Chain A
């Protein structure tokens, strides 16, 4: 690729072109999901589904081993006073804390360990370091790797670099599932979101993910819709399912239910499973728990009845 200098473009053959996206149309369609009425059985089924799809996340400089242990306990025991609640899908931590999480979760736990890698959140690191970081996280016990793309390279038009990097990280994952974070808040347009989604999907992503949570705006309904449509087109073309993970900015049950509805109407019920859809969130779980408790008991409980981890 790099030797092709026919017109000065970094993508002279248009290998990384994607279908156009109409922002007005996407915004209108996304708005439709917010006018649906999700109540009674639909709501309680949906709330439990949301809990089972959460990647319970802590990604702070101040994270401690004990905080990660607490997080792991919470993932398996969301609110023991309500019986039959699911576990969260995963815990999501920094690479240095993967071993702690592995140790804290029982052998038989269904909760996966996801680790961010590749110089999260900025992605401003050397490729060999990123690959080494990925390998070590997997060797320490990570089931899933959440990588960030090199936004600088992407925005400069060097799509081949972005694609190669994803493919190499995928190899370093050694079978662990790879979530590719586009950091849509830095991409600028929905066309760029679509292009980045297509590049990630074609380069080996098992999941595409909106955001690190460190940049605002993070996940939104319109941006997630664009990514779901990329997943759908890939499925139509190849029959292969790709997962979706909106992350950051989803802290309320009502909004999370609207995301589920959007997935259902865009991709179908097959994606309504934590195998294919996740929420990257830290405070969403408690809001959902409050709603579940309200449905069980008929009244809202105060926030202090739910553990903050």
Chain B
């Protein structure tokens, strides 16, 4: 019975919906933020930070060397001795609450800069990164004057100066994860943002000034890996907190050995996302998409290995491909973009290298048809099926939008396969039966295991890894203890 009603256009398309960058203020050059002032790097050198969606330079930031790091550590020590360890815990909390509120007030500005500098979709920086960053400050602000209750019958004391090195995938959020608990527990900070995404941390420094945070309590020095190594190796640093690659994490652990430095490492991952045959398939597929394509797969806990029970494999893969086809890859500033730009040329080359390896290994490649911009760094959402457990793409962390799918028949088999990795950061299980869900989640060697969901983050929940994914926890009460000496009086 064909309808005779007048019909509008056959294919209904979304129109461009670009977020305006008009109200964003990015300086042409940023110096280091040391002792409450902007200090030029000792060698006078700067390096550019680019928009990965266009390849255009956004600003340039200080290339810091040993004397700059030394200056920052000394400022942090002085602030610790003279100010931060002297004021009441309640005063510390007051500053943190103020910082949290200021982040909320400037959320839009931070979201836009995060997207410009890092390439992530504005939807994610607006709805995830920035609100979560503010929430971390709110959460730890509340603990500042309640530490005795956090650790009953224990005496707690701050460690001193914390050297913090953060990655490029969640620049502001990782800064918040590191700075908020350190300040709440009475430590002072030297933070080294990632080489490719320093801008929101530097904007955060402006915000600290506006909040009236005492000089030297947080210092920010920019640079590449050598600057990070100078910070990690500096004898004046009492505690190192590092988030980044397992390779760098190992070298930091070596250099810290024999020193009195406390260390927490949050490193790589190769998380298993497991779909059992009784799972709610459509929601599981959505969770798989969220697990691997969120933030272009630049997520240490990304669900990059998919295990599907063989009886539902065809259905899952069909629905997964259909869902991948609807993902919008494009300008990160467009509010409808699902997948933005790859963070850097270098990372794009790494991802492309792994895609070539996957094809060479005989796995079946699936990518949707999508037009990619000719400037900037882009990679479509990628699915490999017919992958072997021994394939490189199933073993090594790719840190991009690349999913490797395998099947399994029994639960013991999938437990063995899921745990058969040097990493142990995260995992996901999709299953309608509660008892089996808990049986399986308990058997997985991973710091975070999600049941019928994925990539949920909350400041109250500890996050961290097993095995080569690192040690120490961030978030929740566990996140406090990483910045405290605790003793039984």
Q: How far is the CA of A40 from the CA of B14 in the complex (A)?
A: 9
A242 to chain B, nearest CB (A): 14
Q: Which residues of chain A in 17-39 are interfacial with respect to chain B, using CB atoms and an 8 Å cutoff?
A: 19-22, 24-26, 28-29, 35-39
B280 interface residue per 8 A CB criterion: yes
B260 interface residue per 8 A CB criterion: no
Contact with A along B3-31 (1 / 0, CB 8 A): 11111111111111100000000000000
Q: Which residues of chain B in 266-295 are interfacial with respect to chain A, using CB atoms and an 8 Å cutoff?
A: 278-284, 286-287
B298 interface residue per 8 A CB criterion: no
Task: Chain A residues near B287: list those with CB within 8 A.
Answer: 25
B62 to chain A, nearest CB (A): 37
Which 4 pairs show the lowest CB-CB distances between chains A and B? A25-B283, A37-B17, A37-B335, A42-B15
- Asked whether, in the complex, the Cβ of B8 is within 8 Å of the Cβ of A236, the reply is no
A41 interface residue per 8 A CB criterion: yes
Identify B8's interface contact among A20, A26, A52, CB under 8 A.
Answer: A52
A230 to chain B, nearest CB (A): 10
- Asked whether, in the complex, the Cβ of A20 is within 8 Å of the Cβ of B6, the reply is no
B127 interface residue per 8 A CB criterion: yes
Contact with B along A8-23 (1 / 0, CB 8 A): 0000000000011110
- Asked whether, in the complex, the Cβ of B283 is within 8 Å of the Cβ of A269, the reply is no
Task: Chain A residues near B123: list those with CB within 8 A.
Answer: 35
Of the A-B pairs whose beta carbons lie under 8 Å apart in the complex, a sample of 6, sorted by A's number, is A19-B280, A38-B17, A41-B15, A45-B8, A177-B1, A229-B282
Residues of B within 8 A of A (CB): 1-17, 123, 127, 278-284, 286-287, 318, 326, 335-336, 432, 452-453
Identify A87's interface contact among B2, B5, B283, B286, CB under 8 A.
Answer: B5
**B interface secondary structure, majority:** loop
Task: Chain B residues near A26: list those with CB within 8 A.
Answer: 283
- Asked whether, in the complex, the Cβ of A52 is within 8 Å of the Cβ of B7, the reply is yes
Task: Chain A residues near B278: list those with CB within 8 A.
Answer: 20
Stretch of A151-159, A162-170, A246-254, A272-280 with 4 or more beta carbons under 8 angstroms from chain B: A272-280
A241 to chain B, nearest CB (A): 12
Identify B2's interface contact among A36, A37, A229, A275, CB under 8 A.
Answer: A275
Task: Determine which residue in B5, B17, B278, B453 has the highest number of CB atoms from chain A within 10 A of its CB, and name it.
Answer: B5
- Asked whether, in the complex, the Cβ of B5 is within 8 Å of the Cβ of A86, the reply is yes
- Asked whether, in the complex, the Cβ of A36 is within 8 Å of the Cβ of B283, the reply is no
- Asked whether, in the complex, the Cβ of B12 is within 8 Å of the Cβ of A49, the reply is yes
Q: How far is the CA of A35 from the CA of B326 in the complex (A)?
A: 15
Other A-B pairs, 20, CB within 8 Å; known A29-B283, A86-B6, A269-B11: A19-B280, A20-B278, A21-B283, A22-B280, A22-B432, A26-B283, A35-B127, A38-B14, A41-B15, A42-B12, A43-B15, A45-B12, A46-B12, A52-B5, A86-B7, A110-B5, A111-B5, A177-B1, A264-B12, A275-B1
Q: Which residues of chain A in 133-149 are interfacial with respect to chain B, using CB atoms and an 8 Å cutoff?
A: none
Knowing A39-B17, A110-B5, A236-B318 touch, does A25 contact B12 (C-beta < 8 A)? no
Identify B12's interface contact among A39, A269, A275, CB under 8 A.
Answer: A269
B339 to chain A, nearest CB (A): 14
Task: Chain A residues near B12: list those with CB within 8 A.
Answer: 42, 45-46, 49, 260, 264, 269, 272
Q: Which residue of B lies closest to A51 (CB)?
A: B8
Q: Which residue of A lies closest to B1 (CB)?
A: A177
Q: Which residue of A lies closest to B433 (CB)?
A: A20
Q: How far is the CA of A38 from the CA of B14 in the complex (A)?
A: 7
Q: How far is the CA of A52 from the CA of B3 in the complex (A)?
A: 11
- Asked whether, in the complex, the Cβ of B280 is within 8 Å of the Cβ of A20, the reply is yes
B314 to chain A, nearest CB (A): 10
Task: Determine which residue in A25, A110, A261, A269 has the highest number of CB atoms from chain B within 10 A of its CB, and name it.
Answer: A25
Knowing A265-B326, A275-B3 touch, does A24 contact B15 (C-beta < 8 A)? no
Task: Chain A residues near B5: list those with CB within 8 A.
Answer: 52, 86-87, 89, 110-111, 274
Q: Which residues of chain A in 69-92 are interfacial with respect to chain B, using CB atoms and an 8 Å cutoff?
A: 86-87, 89
- Asked whether, in the complex, the Cβ of A22 is within 8 Å of the Cβ of B283, the reply is yes
Knowing A29-B286, A274-B3, A274-B5 touch, does A269 contact B10 (C-beta < 8 A)? yes
Q: How far is the CA of A38 from the CA of B16 in the complex (A)?
A: 9
B284 to chain A, nearest CB (A): 8
Q: Which residue of A lies closest to B278 (CB)?
A: A20
Q: How far is the CA of A45 from the CA of B335 in the complex (A)?
A: 19
B384 to chain A, nearest CB (A): 23
Task: Chain B residues near A236: list those with CB within 8 A.
Answer: 318
Q: How far is the CA of A6 from the CA of B295 in the complex (A)?
A: 53
Knowing A177-B1, A269-B10 touch, does A28 contact B286 (C-beta < 8 A)? yes
Task: Chain B residues near A261: list those with CB within 8 A.
Answer: 14
A270 to chain B, nearest CB (A): 9
Q: How far is the CA of A86 from the CA of B8 in the complex (A)?
A: 8
Q: How far is the CA of A49 from the CA of B5 in the complex (A)?
A: 11
Identify B4's interface contact among A25, A28, A36, A110, CB under 8 A.
Answer: A110
Q: How far is the CA of A46 from the CA of B12 in the complex (A)?
A: 7
Q: How far is the CA of A134 from the CA of B478 in the complex (A)?
A: 65
Q: How far is the CA of A106 from the CA of B14 in the complex (A)?
A: 36
Task: Chain A residues near B1: list those with CB within 8 A.
Answer: 177, 275
Knowing A38-B14, A45-B9 touch, does A24 contact B452 (C-beta < 8 A)? yes
Task: Chain A residues near B2: list those with CB within 8 A.
Answer: 275
Task: Chain A residues near B452: list those with CB within 8 A.
Answer: 22, 24-25
Q: How far is the CA of A25 from the CA of B4 in the complex (A)?
A: 38
Task: Chain A residues near B11: list those with CB within 8 A.
Answer: 269
- Asked whether, in the complex, the Cβ of A24 is within 8 Å of the Cβ of B3, the reply is no
Q: How far is the CA of A265 from the CA of B432 in the complex (A)?
A: 25
Task: Chain A residues near B318: list those with CB within 8 A.
Answer: 236
Task: Chain B residues near A111: list those with CB within 8 A.
Answer: 5
Q: How far is the CA of A183 from the CA of B336 in the complex (A)?
A: 33
Q: How far is the CA of A24 from the CA of B284 in the complex (A)?
A: 11
Task: Chain B residues near A274: list those with CB within 8 A.
Answer: 3, 5, 7
A48 interface residue per 8 A CB criterion: yes
Task: Chain B residues near A48: list those with CB within 8 A.
Answer: 8
